[in-house]
Amino acid sequence: MLLNKKSEDTVVIGKRYAVRNVIRSDEYGEVCKAYDTVMLRTVRMTRLIAEDAPQEVGRAYELYRRREQFLQAYRTLSSLRSSSLPLIYTIQQEGMGAFAVYENVCAPSLGEMLRTEKRVSFETAKERLLPVTAALKLMHDKGVFHGNVSKDSIVMTNTTAVLSDAVGIDADAAQDIRALLSLMFRMMTGKHLQTAQTQETAVQKSSEHDALVQDAKETPLSAPDKIEDIYSHSDNGSHTHDTDTKQNDAESLHSDEMEDIYSHSDIGSGSNGTAQRAETLPSSANQTADDPTFSIYRIGELSLPNDLEFCIRQAFLTKEGLSADGVLTHLYHSRDFAVGRQNEKPAVSVPPDFAALAEKYHTEIRSLITSL
Amino acid sequence: MNTTDQNYSVTEEYTPQHRLEITASSVIGTRKYQQDSYGSIETEQGALALICDGMGGLQGGEIASALAVRMMLEDYIRLKTEDIPAFLKRNVCEIDRRVYQLKDEYGRQLGAGSTLAAVHIKDGLMRWISVGDSKIYVFRDNELHCIVREHNYLLMLNELYTSGQITIEQYRHEQSDAEALISYLGMGNVSLMDTEERPLRLLSGDIVLICSDGLYKTLSDRQIEAVIKDNSFAFGRTADVLTQEVMRKVRRSQDNTTVLLLKYI
């Protein structure tokens, strides 16, 4: 491979990593591809960028706290052994900031695969996302959250799926679970499930939908129709109207209204509505319309295992808050997700022959590591 | 403790307690047999760590290297003397004889051999011995320093050429056999070994790296340095990362590779 000549504009980090291109940047820093001029390979790097001389004490502490959080997250990640997580090469401080260098996994992303596949079966979706689920479980167990689980951050190698992107600082377990289950839904339906977070992004990006937003706010909600509306949108953001035009635009819904859709308080708003919901519910739902945990969430025409449906409800529909860890734990132990546990290295023990010899010669062996 | 008190005086002398962190990793590469063996042991006599790279047909090399490591560790457990350099030299000669005498199931000489690179550390003082082409490095101030030589034909050629006993044409002609070992355990009369009567005083933060030739023939010294520096936040994984980097660079053929690191803290 010919090395490109370093131009004057090339940014070199740590006197070693020549930045090739910035993949993503946000308020904290950036994720980029770089070339390691010592190990002679392309790597990915997450940089936490901070001003070197903060003027305020409060700001300085904030930067310090953020940097320590970053370092701790990556150190923890580096201790995890999973073929679905990129190998962390190094973690270094950079003034008030820091950077982490990790493996650049060369493989097509899940997003690229999904462009040619409209829908896959539940079994296929589960099989593809299982390694990522296991990796997330490992991370969450150690208090590290990804924050950017998406079809573009998951790459599909010949043997497994890899979470190729960096971990976030202010991410949480709920965010990861929501993203994972949204992705699964997308794979099975070919449609994009709008959550409160993704909806906010869509609204910010699309100014021409402001009128629709206002209109949707004023239109009384009809729960079953609303559910259908959410699922009627294709992934590329275009709107296909299956039922009422105004109510089909889930992207323009205010986040509060999204919660209302999922709210249990909508249940029993009318006897007609109740009867209608009872007809359209999946057969796996055992709850009655008056049950406070009863969900008005209908997952299209999919026939999902009870466990997964329960998990989706827990992840998206619990008004009190997301018990994301519970969801992941449920997935983890579910018969449909046979996730293996990370094997801990066994404690070092002294082979009996060495132990006997040491005892005979009154020698205390404090440690012994051997290939014998 | 009030550091601003001018009358403050130290009533007890503070002696920092140093300790060793040890990590090791070994990969088979693309070979059929794993002929590298390694071991490290810590007793009240200090810490002893060694790597042996076996050679010989079929599993002869594996037997030779395993025998060398076992003998060294067992004799160290029996050790009561403080004379470590004498112990190391005596043991190397004894192991050499035992490996030379190894026989197969038909009673024929096995013809196997092994390298040996061993270090002993006690109270911050390091002694070492090396036979063959396994290496011992000291990583200090972000730089790697090799403290032993490769006992191969190239070493002899360089000495002959430097002393004027051969011409440059003869030197170039003989270079094809440069990697053949001229000293190893199993010769029966090993005499060339790298050792030092004066110990090396280790500083806090020093890392000692013992490795078989699979490592330094695949990664440059600069790359080995970079990996050690990169993993300063988690020393325990350094050995694994080094062997992983070796395996990443595998093209067609990769020798067994073993690394053993000791960090003096």
ipTM score of complex: 0.84
With CA atoms as reference, report the closest residue to B90 among B221, B193, B239, B232. B193
Q: Which of A95-104, B104-113, B120-129, B158-167: highest mean pLDDT?
A: B120-129
Neighbours of A275 (CB within 10 A): 10
pLDDT in tens, B173-212: 888 878 888 899 999 988 899 998 899 999 999 999 999 9
Q: What are the residue ranges spanned by the domains of chain A? A: 12-103, 110-333
E runs forming strands in B162-244: 194-195, 200-201, 207-211
Round to the nearest angstrom and report the end-to-end CA distance of chain A.
Answer: 41
pLDDT in tens, A289-301: 333 232 323 333 3
pLDDT in tens, B15-28: 557 889 999 999 99
Q: Where are the alpha helices (H) located in A93-243, listed in sequence order?
A: 110-116, 122-141, 173-189, 196-205, 210-218, 223-231
* Tokens encoding B52: 């042996």
B51 interaction partners in chain A (CB closer than 8 Å): none
pLDDT of residue B254: 84
Mind telling me how many Å the CA of A50 is from chain B's nearest CA? Answer: 21
pLDDT of residue B95: 96
pLDDT of residue A240: 34
pLDDT of residue B50: 97
pLDDT in tens, B126-156: 999 999 999 999 999 999 999 999 988 888 8
Distance CA A271, CA B134 (A): 84
Distance of CA B58 to the CA centre of its chain: 24
- Do the Cβ atoms of B42 and A368 come within 8 Å? yes
Of A89, A364, A365, the CB nearest to B230: A89
Low-confidence ranges of chain A (pLDDT < 70): 1-8, 52-55, 166, 191-349
Could you please state the CATH topology (level 3) that the domain comprising A12-103 is classified under.
Answer: Phosphorylase Kinase; domain 1 (3.30.200)
DSSP 8-class letter at A1? -
Distance CA A113, CA B247 (A): 29
Q: What is the mean pLDDT of residues B83-107?
A: 92
pLDDT of residue A339: 35
Kindly write down the DSSP assignment for every residue of B91-142, as one continuous string.
Answer: HHHHHHHHHHT-B-TTS-B---EE-EEEEEEETTEEEEEEESS-EEEEEETT
- Establish whether domains A12-103 and A110-333 are of one fold: no
Q: Which residues contact B234 (CB under 8 A, 6 or more apart)?
A: A75, A78, A79
Strand partners, A24: A31
Q: A-B interface: how many C-beta pairs under 8 angstroms?
A: 89
Q: What is the mean pLDDT of residues B236-246?
A: 93
Distance CA A206, CA A236 (A): 13
A372 interaction partners in chain B (CB closer than 8 Å): 37, 39, 66, 69-70, 73
- Do the Cβ atoms of B226 and A367 come within 8 Å? no
Mind telling me how many Å the CA of A362 is from chain B's nearest CA? Answer: 9
Query: In the Cβ-directed half-sphere of B232, how many Cα atoms lie within 13 Å?
Result: 15
Report the amino acid identity of residue A20.
R
To test the contact with chain A by mutation, choose from B230, B235, B244, B248 the residue with the greatest count of A C-beta atoms within 10 A, namely B230
- Do the Cβ atoms of B66 and A372 come within 8 Å? yes
Q: Which of A27-36, A201-210, B53-62, B116-125: highest mean pLDDT?
A: B116-125
Identify the residue with better confidence: A173 or B102.
Answer: B102
B26 interaction partners in chain A (CB closer than 8 Å): 371
Residue of chain B with shortest Cα separation from A355: B77
* Residue B163: pLDDT over 60: yes
Q: Is B142 on the interface with A (CB under 8 A)?
A: no
Q: Is B87 on the interface with A (CB under 8 A)?
A: no
Q: What percent of chain A has pLDDT over 90?
A: 13
Of B39, B77, B80, the CB nearest to A369: B39
B222 interaction partners in chain A (CB closer than 8 Å): 38
- Do the Cβ atoms of B233 and A78 come within 8 Å? yes
Distance CA B147, CA B81 (A): 25
Mind telling me how many Å the CA of A358 is from chain B's nearest CA? Answer: 6
Q: Which residues contact A134 (CB under 8 A, 6 or more apart)?
A: A82, A84, A339, A340
Could you please state the CATH topology (level 3) that the domain comprising A110-333 is classified under.
Answer: Transferase(Phosphotransferase); domain 1 (1.10.510)
pLDDT of residue A372: 87
Mind telling me how many Å the CA of A173 is from chain B's nearest CA? Answer: 26
* Residue B114: pLDDT over 80: yes
Average pLDDT, chain B: 89
Q: Answer yes or no: are the C-beta atoms of B260 and B214 closer than 8 Å.
A: no
Q: Is A240 on the interface with B (CB under 8 A)?
A: no
Residue of chain B with shortest Cα separation from A354: B74
A79 interaction partners in chain B (CB closer than 8 Å): 234, 237
Which domains are assigned to chain B? 20-144+184-264 (3.60.40.10)
